[in-house]
Each structure stands twice: as C-alpha cells, then as structure tokens.
Amino acid sequence: MSLLRSGTLVVVPWLVCQDAFVEDVVFLIATQCLKMQRLSLISLASCSRQLRLVCMPLVFSTSSIKSIRFCSTPIPPPGIRPYIRRLIHVGTPDPVSFEELLKHLPEIRAVVFNCAHARVPLAVVEQCYRHAGIASLSFADTSDCQSAWAYTTTHYHPGKESHPNSLKQLSYAANLSKPTRASYYQVDCPKADIVAELGPIILRMHLSAESLSFTPDRAPLARMADLPWPCLRDLTLTGRYSDASQVSSVPQLVSAMRNPRSLSIQVGQLADRPRPTVLERECTEMRALESLTLAYPDPDDAIFAIAGPSLRYLSIRDHPRHYLKNMPVNRRLAMPILSSSECLRVLSRMSMPRLEHLELVYEGDDLEEELLVHVASSYSHLHTFELHQYRHSPHGPAPLRYNRISEIVRSLDTLRTLRLNLDYAYQDAAIPQPRARADDDDDAYKSRWASAEELVLYGSEILTILERREGFHVLAELYLLYCDPNTCRRWVRFLPSRYSGTVAEPIDWGLDPESLYVVASHWHGLVWMLADCDPCAYP
C-alpha cells in the first residue's frame, strides 16, 4: 500500500494482506490522504480492489462538472453517482439540465457555483432550495446570483414558506469586480438589485441557517436584523457596505445570534464614519465563541467584555490590507487602524486562557512594547502570532524596532509560527543598504519596505535573536511580508537553523482570501527566488 508521509510514498504491506485487511483503519488513512493530497488517495485506491472499494466514497465525494452556456449540463457516470456529496458546477447552469442532474445525485449535500460569469439563474437556486438533501450552497468569487426580478416582485413573509428549507450553510464570496463583470456579459445589474441580490435566498433561511458568509452590499441587512436566527452559529461578513445605513444593522444581527461559535466582520470602513459597533450591549451569550475577527473595531465595544473564555482565534485587523491603500479601488476608503495602546486596552478587557492564534494590526505608539509584553506573558497556549506594524504618519516617530520585538516574542514557549509585517524605515542594525530620504508621503510610505536582499538579512537576524534563548525549539517557521514597488505582495518563509535547505523561499498565496487584492503574486509566487526577484522580468 502507498501512503503519503511528509511528501513521500511509504509502503505499508500488512494493510493489504488478505488476512489482515482492516477496513476501518484503511478508511482513516484514506481520509488523511485526502486532507494532505488528493493524488495520494488515488494512488492508495489503485493498489488493490479492496482498497478501491474502501476509497471510492472519498475519491468521488466531490465531483466537478463544466457546462457551456446554452448547452445541457453533463451528468456523471452511473457508477460514481451514489458517492457524490459535493458538486462543483463550473459555468452558467441551465435550469432544465440542472434539475435533471439533481435527480441523478441521491446523496448530494452541497453545491458550489464557480465561473458562472453570466450569473446563476434564480430558477437554479430555487431548485437547490427545494432539494431535501442540499444543506450547503456556495457562490465562488467568479459567480453571481441572478435576482433582478425576484426581489423586486416578491416579498418574503416569515412563516409562510411554500417549501421546506434544508439549507444550513450559505457562502457568497466577495469580489469587487462582480457588477463590472455582469455588465460585460450584458446582464442588467441596477444598484437596487445588487444590494438585495441575496434577499430571496438568505431571508428564507432564517430558521435553518447555521453558517452564513456573504458580502453585506449584496444582502438586505436591515430586513435580516428583524428576523430571528435561532440556529446561526457562524457569521462572516466580508467586503463593503452599500451605504451607511447598513452599519447600524450589524449589531442587531449579531444580537439575534444565540451562542455564536465564529464571528468575522471584515468590511471596508466608510469615510467620515466612526468605527463600527459590533455589539451595543452585553445581551448575547458568547461563552461558546471560538473565533473572532474584526476590522477596525471600537476598543470599547461590548463584545470584548464578554468574549474570551472559549476563544482560540482572535484577529484585530484591517480590511482591505493597509499596505494596499494606494490601489485605486481602495483610495476612497478610510482605514482607522487601532493604535498599539488601543489594542492593549482591548486585550486587557479579555480573558482568553485558550487562545492559540492572535493577529494584531496597529499603529505603534508609546505603549507598543507594553502591548507585546502583555501578549508574551498572558497567552500560554499561543501557537501562531501575526503582527502588522505601522507608524501613525509617514514622517512620525519610528515604531518599535524589529530586534526588540524579536526579544519579546521569544519568551512565548509554545509559538510555532510567527508572521511579521514591520516598518523597516530607518532601521540600521546589521542591514548595510542605505536608504534614500523620503521627500513626500508616498515616498515615505514606500521607504518602510525592505528590498529583497534586505529582507533576507532581516529574516536571518530575527531568527538568530529568537534562537538565542536556550531550549527555544518549538518555532517551526518565520514569515516576513515582502512588498515591491510594482505591488507584488507575498509572505516569505524562513526556517530555523535546525532545518537544512533554503534560507528563504517564496510562498504562493494559493487560495488565501487576500489574493483577491494582490497583483501577480499568485502566478509568480513559485517562479523566482526572493534574493533574485525582478517582477518585471515575468509577463
């Protein structure tokens, strides 16, 4: 039998022996193979007939079907239909063909629409809604929902549903180019319809929804806030508000959740507006909250006083990323990043004995060192720490130096992954390259970034500081953010001295949500080594 272990195939002959075949053990191994690499699962299934029979439910659990516009949707072969639980539909679906397709998939549980540039017809969405087995519906960032006529001509009345609803999960990826793309495909997309795009779907899910992920400018937040959501455990808002009135609906919607498990609000800040409130009063049970992600939160928000006992993931961040503020699509957005003293105020209000992942985005001030000391001394189970450091103004006082940050962080006994996006302007230390004086704010902003050669030196020196502590062998990887004048963004990994091989290597952003705002890094992330980077050399 072949099994993937650390990127290599390992033979375990006893598992394929006729007398010792253990189906449950093989199924567990196959499940792990699927999580690590799908090709390893296929290799495992190819070893014998017994293994193939065990692996078939996993190998064919997800099926991808591509359809051409105005053509019928293909149907999978009969032999694999009973195993398909997740369907990925590529292209714009035809309602008649899609309905016929669903009849041949008895175990279907989830549908994902991808590359439906001309929008998914509401008739297709309605078919998913009525299907008794489908519990999850997802629209990738390249797909839209066609609801131009439905929301304007029909009104939803709670308690008067004509069909039972089995949908528990809805995911609608944020993509700023969706209205533009819809117009390219000659689809009428008025603003009133864009705001209510998810209305016909999401409002009917209020009694069954367990997980919702969508962009607020596509949903009627005010109407959602007026409905009960008794089963909603996970809520993710990502993107932008359509107008200021939507901001006030978020606290009402959060208050309607009963004992939430995950809450993520990453929405661009409207100009001339105060920091948004997530929870106005301590009226919602938060003891089960395990993950909390907030962009530009109010440090005095009530949620920080009641969330924490079960929290494993906390992110106080920006959206979109502050280092992308000069992109044309982001220049009208406000980015009120918290100061380090405000972050300290937030963390001081929270008791998080189980915290494993922490992300902080702040502007450094006089309490920056105290903030990091608090982090290093308060969270004994912290595995991952991500830090984005900025200065209050381009010509303002320099924030805490990278070497001091490293000295504080190395006291975290359980830290395995460290991600740093630091301001390197005017930090001399062992870095030999002189920096030109910045004459304007734009040049001063660019001066915070290290060159490729400098970043390698910074990474090596930070690792040296981290490893000075005797017994500090838990850290597995250090990431430093690299940015160049051509708007390439990527995380670069540095390995501790106990690992042999390359000191620095480029990291592919892959399916990271931030890749939506990054130019070129996804395509060239694995092409050129950091120390010899020249983005202009590649098309």
What single string gives the DSSP state of each residue in 325-377?
Answer: TTSGGGTTSB--PPBHHHHHHHHHT---TT--EEEEEEE--TTHHHHHHHHHH
pLDDT on residue 287: 87
d(CA 143, CA 104): 24
**Maximum Cα interatomic distance, the chain, rounded to a whole number of Å:** 78
Q: pLDDT at position 142, please?
A: 66
How far apart, in whole angstroms, are the C-alpha atoms of residue 281 and residue 306? 10
Q: Are residues 29 and 126 in the same domain?
A: no
What are the structure tokens assigned to 132, written together? Answer: 């008794």
Same domain, 38 and 73: no
The answer to whether position 24 is within a domain reads yes
Between 60 and 533, whose confidence is greater? 60
* 128 and 150 fall within a common domain: yes
Same domain for 133 and 169, yes or no, is yes
DSSP 318: -
Residue 391 pLDDT exceeds 70: yes
- How crowded is residue 280: how many other Cβ atoms within 10 Å of its Cβ? 16
**Does position 513 have pLDDT exceeding 50, yes or no?**
no
Q: Of the residues 182, 215, 248, which one is the last residue of a structural domain?
A: 215
Number of domains into which the chain is organized: 3
Q: Residue 2: beta bridge partners? A: 11
Tally helices (H) and strands (E) across the chain: 18, 18
* Residue 110 bridge partners (DSSP): 86, 136
239 domain-assigned? no
Give the model's pLDDT for residue 244.
82
Return the H-helix or E-strand segment holding 408: helix 402-409
Instruction: Check residue 270 and report its DSSP letter.
Output: P
Cα-to-chain-centroid distance, residue 481: 17
Over the chain, what is the mean pLDDT? 77
In 304-369 the beta strands, taken as DSSP E runs, fall at: 313-317, 357-363
- Regarding whether 169 and 152 lie in a shared domain, the answer is yes
In this predicted structure, the answer to whether residue 519 has a pLDDT above a threshold of 50 is no
The number of angstroms, rounded, from the C-alpha of 362 to the middle of its chain's C-alpha atoms is: 20
Nearest residue to 16 (alpha-carbon basis) of 64, 41, 51: 51
Would you state the structure tokens that stand for residue 191, as one six-digit string? 């603003």
- The answer to whether position 186 is within a domain reads yes
Q: What is the pLDDT of residue 210?
A: 97
Whether the bond between 260 and the residue before it is cis, its omega within 30 degrees of 0, is no
Q: Are residues 67 and 182 in the same domain?
A: yes
Tell whether 66 and 168 lie within a shared domain. Answer: yes
pLDDT at 4: 45
Q: Are residues 100 and 19 in the same domain?
A: no
Res 441 pLDDT > 60: no
Q: CA-CA distance, 386 to 421, in Å (whole number)?
A: 8
- The set of long-range contacts for 15-18, using a CB threshold of 8 Å and a minimum separation of 24, is 16/47, 16/48, 16/50, 16/51
pLDDT in tens, 84-101: 999 999 988 888 999 999
Q: 130 and 40 share a domain?
A: no
CB proximity list for 316: less than 8 A, separation 6 or greater: 294, 297, 338, 343, 346, 359, 360, 361, 362
Range of the domain at 484: 411-424+445-539
Closest CA to 266 of 239, 248, 244, 289: 239
**Torsion sign (Cα): 96, 78, 167, 261:** negative
51 lies in some domain: yes
pLDDT of 13 above 70: no
12 pLDDT more than 70: no
Q: What stretches of 168-291 show up as alpha helix (H) in DSSP? A: 178-184, 191-195, 199-202, 221-225, 249-255
Coil, helix or strand for 214? strand
The confidence band for 111, taking pLDDT boundaries of 50, 70 and 90, is very high
Q: Is residue 50 part of a domain?
A: yes
184 domain-assigned = yes
pLDDT of 17 strictly over 90? no
Q: Return the CA Rg of the chain.
A: 25
Same-domain check for residues 88 and 26: no
pLDDT at 35: 66
Does 527 score more than 60 pLDDT?
A: no
In 3D, which of 238, 116, 119, 115 has the Cα closest to residue 176? 238
- Residue 181's pLDDT band, with cuts at 50, 70 and 90, is very low
- Residue 89 shares a structural domain with residue 51: no
Predicted pLDDT of residue 209: 95
* pLDDT per position as a tens digit, 364-389: 999 999 999 999 999 999 999 999 99
In a domain, 276, yes or no: no
**Residue 258: inside a domain, yes or no?**
no
Q: Are residue 50 and residue 66 in the same domain, yes or no?
A: no
pTM, two decimals, is 0.81
Of the three residues 15, 30, 57, the one that is the final residue of a domain is 57
The closest alpha carbon to 454, from 474, 487, 429, belongs to: 429
Which pair of structure tokens corresponds to residue 81? 């239909």
Last residue of a domain, one of 32, 57, 82: 57
Q: Is the pLDDT of residue 37 over 90?
A: no
pLDDT band at 447 (very low <50, low <70, confident <90, very high): low
